[in-house]
Amino acid sequence: MPTNQMPHNLDAEAALLGCIIIDESVQTDLLESLREEEFYQESHRLILAAMKRVFGARKTVDVVTLTDQLERDGTLERAGGLQAITDLASFTPSSANYKQYLAIVRRDGVNRALIRAARDIDENSRKGQEARDAIAYAEKLVYDISREEDGSTLAGLGDGVVTRQVIKKFEDIAADPNAYRGLETGFKHLDRITNGLQKSDLIVIAARPGMGKTSLAMNIVEHACLKKGKIAAVFSLEMPRVQIVQRLLCAHAEVSMEKALAGKLNQSEWKNLWRASDKLQESKIFIDDSSRITPAEILSKCRRLVASAGGLDLVMIDYIQLMGAGDKIASSDFNRQQEIASITRDLKIMAKELDVPVIALSQLRRIQTKEPQLSDLRESGAIEQDADIVMFINRPDVNATAEEITKNHIVKGAAELVIAKHRNGSLGRIQLRFLGETTRFVDVDEQNRPTEEPNYRKSDALPDAGEAFPAQGGDDEGGIPLE
């Protein structure tokens, strides 16, 4: 085959079409998934298109029905006429080797698609745009080809395969409650309600500035990577990498960051800090502090991380409102609310594609003066819609007066994690304690301090730590407003 000619094998294409004509079982297996662009010759593409229409009309594909369809489409002559259709059937004695023919046709189809993509990449790269935009464009083209090859088809439940899998899952859970446990967060009450962070879930942690949403997310990353050996990608649009590592070091060493920054650590604290440093260097935490990054760029970097590190278990993004949707959205007539909707939709798709939990932080409206609720999510209701879990951090002591704290109306450091939406489970409230000196949250009963239940304003009447309550409304309701 000349080097300037697109890869193809006309004999394999003809043999595959012949197998479809003479064998009904092959029709069922192939006609839903085969695409016209996988065939090189135009006549073969026209024949396949007619086959799919016959099959879609719930008729058997044979010489008569296929010829009739081509004639009604007005493409019979372009497809080679009646003789070409007859030849396809007569020159294919058996359908036994159809899988080999299919493999050849798809191989050449993929290679042609890659060649076309390479031409587009070459043309796009000559426009002199930003390097990261050019890389994201190239990776998207190649990934789209890969995704088409991996695409699944619509399948029924009649064979019982999926239902047996679900029953087996329930049996496994009955025998071992941790059989399908997701990624542990390190907060036992939260893990009990969520059964760990599940793969492909988009988890939104929302709070007003200064409430500790970054600290909470990094506590989860720390637990997953330093204590469970997982691989995490952290995208910090707000803080530089050095500040993220600074928080991780002090939190894991349980050393006061204020004392460390003031140079007032004692010998024991220095030892803890060096041990934590060794642990961090051995961990698989990867940090990107690019500003104004887009979901496409995050996905691209995560794909490369999977290839280089051998996997990925968690993605954390800080935070949604600092992200951009990309040049296409930003240059159009979309307003910021629509841009955020595009971003959250892409984050959910990314979580599903990477098959890992994605934690995305979000701000709340500043006008909020009461306990946070779903309507307070800043700039877009799409955050609530696309997220599988939405959690709010509530810390009454942040805005409390000195008198309220002195009189013990509010306990300093008392915090509550409110699960306001949980697509696959119950809602709930988890009582935590925020240890500001080490920038970490801990379960109330595991803080290694004198036991003291968090007190909020006495009128709040909050449930006990870790108490869950059933979700209300349908699956898409996203739970109930917490007022």
pLDDT, one tens digit per residue, over 231-270 is 999 998 888 888 888 888 888 888 888 888 888 888 888 9
Cα–Cα distance between 455 and 464 in angstroms, integer?
A: 11
Contact 184, 196 (CB under 8 A): yes
Predicted pLDDT of residue 44: 92
Binned at pLDDT 50, 70 and 90, residue 161 comes out as confident
Q: Long-range contacts made by residues 284-287, C-beta under 8 angstroms, separation at least 24?
A: 284/225, 284/229, 284/230, 284/231, 284/232, 284/309, 285/221, 285/225, 285/226, 285/232, 285/234, 285/248, 286/231, 286/232, 286/233, 286/234, 287/234, 287/236, 287/241, 287/244, 287/245
Q: Among positive and negative, which fits the CA dihedral 467, 472, 474, 478?
A: negative
Q: How many Cβ atoms from other residues are within 10 Å of residue 215's Cβ?
A: 18
Domains of the chain: 10-119 (1.10.860.10), 184-469 (3.40.50.300)
Q: Is 460 helix (H, G, I), strand (E, B) or coil?
A: coil
Predicted pLDDT of residue 381: 67
What are the tens digits of pLDDT across the range 265-285?
888 889 888 888 888 888 888
What are the tens digits of pLDDT across the range 66-87?
999 999 989 999 988 899 889 8
What are the tens digits of pLDDT across the range 333-386?
457 777 788 888 888 888 888 889 999 998 887 655 567 777 777 666 677 788
5 alpha-carbon distance from chain centroid: 39
Q: How many Cβ atoms from other residues are within 10 Å of residue 408's Cβ?
A: 10
The amino acid occupying position 85 is I
Using alpha carbons, select from 94, 57, 97, 60 the residue that is nearest to residue 73: 57
Contact 396, 457 (CB under 8 A): yes
Phi, psi at 197, each rounded to 5°: -75, 120
Cα–Cα distance between 285 and 274 in angstroms, integer?
A: 17
Predicted pLDDT of residue 430: 86
Can you tell me the mean pLDDT for 45-61?
A: 87
- Residues 238/244/248/249 CA torsion (nearest 10 deg): -150
Q: Is the pLDDT of residue 316 over 90?
A: yes
Residues 6+ positions from 395 with CB-CB distance below 8 Å: 211, 212, 414, 415, 416, 434
Alpha helices in 23-62 (DSSP H): 24-30, 42-56
Q: Is the pLDDT of residue 185 over 80?
A: yes
Contact 104, 262 (CB under 8 A): no
Q: How many Cβ atoms from other residues are within 10 Å of residue 362's Cβ?
A: 26
What are the tens digits of pLDDT across the range 294-307?
888 888 888 888 88
